[in-house]
Copies of this chain bind each other. A is one copy, B any other.
Amino acid sequence: MVGQVRRFNRTVTQRVGALSDEFLARDRPLGQARLLWEIGPDGCDVRRLRSRLDLDSGYLSRLLRSLEHDGLVTVEPSEADGRVRTARLTRHGLAERAELDRRSDDLATSILTPLSAAQRTRLTTAMAEVERLLTASAVQITSCDPADPAARSCVQAYFSELAHRFEAGFDPVCSIPATDDELRPPAGLLLAATLHGEPVGCGALKLHDGAPAEIKRMWVAPAVRGLGLGRRLLTELEARAAASGVTTARLETNRALAEAISLYRAAGYREVAAFNDEPYAHHWFEKTLRG
């Protein structure tokens, strides 16, 4: 398998990587072209550009100056914050970006053209599969503090999804709470999943001395569902629980969350009698962990 991945890497970087740079940079240096592309039709704060392209602020400033000099970009102070500056494409810059867009299409077309219709279908299908699985593999799971902005945004998204999906809506105040302190070692822990730095999922554990651990806050962003991320989070939580000497994991869930329920069943959880009085729960599950 490793050999296959290496062969793939070689073929693809030769065919796609080499070409795409050459196609994208028309006359203009690659750095400028990338920047032009990243600014986008609606403009973008310089700060955002810096983090997205991971550039040194001095270097980025100089790149912007050269694009400005060529009449492709204007940079003005942002209204909201006088320190921040916003880069916007001029009419000329927009045309240039459209040209890059066209070239990107040309590159894709040049790959498809030599193939028969059947081969094109097979290629794009396989590309979609590779893309999805590479995305899945790029998701990183790390334990993080409940007060971390990434964790906060996941939990927030989780609550608002529950509010949408539960028949009766969802108000965190009525539910059994899991405070920051309860999800912070050694009382518990919280895992955050990130894709290219953006939070895309979470899962938490409440540990109870000698008693079963509780799994909470299992959530996966809609954009990355179907990539096995829920399963990965669950497996990781179980492993952490087992590492703390816990032998049983427990959780409760609402009947509206069908995918979650089938995940728990598939992962070896069996339904048990209610072990708490969570008002939003319809099902209670339990699993014995192997040390």
CB-CB nearest 8 A-B residue pairs: A5-B108, A126-B129, A8-B127, A123-B133, A2-B108, A4-B124, A126-B126, A11-B131
**Structural contact, A127 and B130, CB atoms closer than 8 A:** yes
| Total contacting residues, chain A, CB less than 8 A | 50
**Structural contact, A116 and B17, CB atoms closer than 8 A:** no
Taken together as a complex, chains A and B put the C-alpha atoms of A5 and B115 apart, in Å, by: 13
Secondary structure call for the A interface? helix
Chain A 1-26 against B: per-residue CB contact (8 Å), 1 yes, 0 no?
11111111101111111001000000
Kindly report which residue of chain B lies nearest to residue A140, judged by CB atoms.
B114
Q: Does A136 contact B (CB under 8 A)?
A: yes
Taken together as a complex, chains A and B put the C-alpha atoms of A196 and B131 apart, in Å, by: 25
Contacts of A131 in B (CB 8 A): 7-8, 11-12
**Structural contact, B116 and A123, CB atoms closer than 8 A:** no
Asked if A116 meets B15 with Cβ closer than 8 Å, knowing A5-B124, A111-B5, the reply is no
**Structural contact, B8 and A17, CB atoms closer than 8 A:** no
CB of A70 to closest CB in B, whole Å: 25
Q: Does A78 contact B (CB under 8 A)?
A: no
Taken together as a complex, chains A and B put the C-alpha atoms of A105 and B133 apart, in Å, by: 18
Asked if A133 meets B122 with Cβ closer than 8 Å, knowing A1-B112, A4-B128, A112-B1, the reply is yes
Kindly report which residue of chain B lies nearest to residue A3, judged by CB atoms.
B108
* Chain A residues numbered 105-146 whose CB sits less than 8 Å from any CB in chain B: 105, 107-109, 111-116, 119-120, 122-124, 126-131, 133-139
Q: Does A231 contact B (CB under 8 A)?
A: yes
* Chain A residues numbered 1-57 whose CB sits less than 8 Å from any CB in chain B: 1-9, 11-17, 20
**Structural contact, B112 and A123, CB atoms closer than 8 A:** no
Taken together as a complex, chains A and B put the C-alpha atoms of A14 and B16 apart, in Å, by: 12
Kindly report which residue of chain B lies nearest to residue A105, judged by CB atoms.
B2
Extra 8 A-B pairs, beta carbons < 8 Å, given A6-B105, A122-B133: A6-B107, A8-B130, A9-B108, A12-B131, A13-B16, A113-B137, A116-B231, A122-B129
Contacts of A17 in B (CB 8 A): 13, 17
Kindly report which residue of chain B lies nearest to residue A54, judged by CB atoms.
B18
* Chain A residues numbered 130-168 whose CB sits less than 8 Å from any CB in chain B: 130-131, 133-139
Which of B122, B123, B136 meets A114, CB within 8 Å?
B136
**Structural contact, B11 and A12, CB atoms closer than 8 A:** no
**Structural contact, A108 and B16, CB atoms closer than 8 A:** no
Q: Does A228 contact B (CB under 8 A)?
A: yes
CB of A36 to closest CB in B, whole Å: 16
Chain A 206-243 against B: per-residue CB contact (8 Å), 1 yes, 0 no?
00000000000000000000001001100000000000
Contacts of A194 in B (CB 8 A): none
Taken together as a complex, chains A and B put the C-alpha atoms of A131 and B14 apart, in Å, by: 11
Contacts of A138 in B (CB 8 A): 15
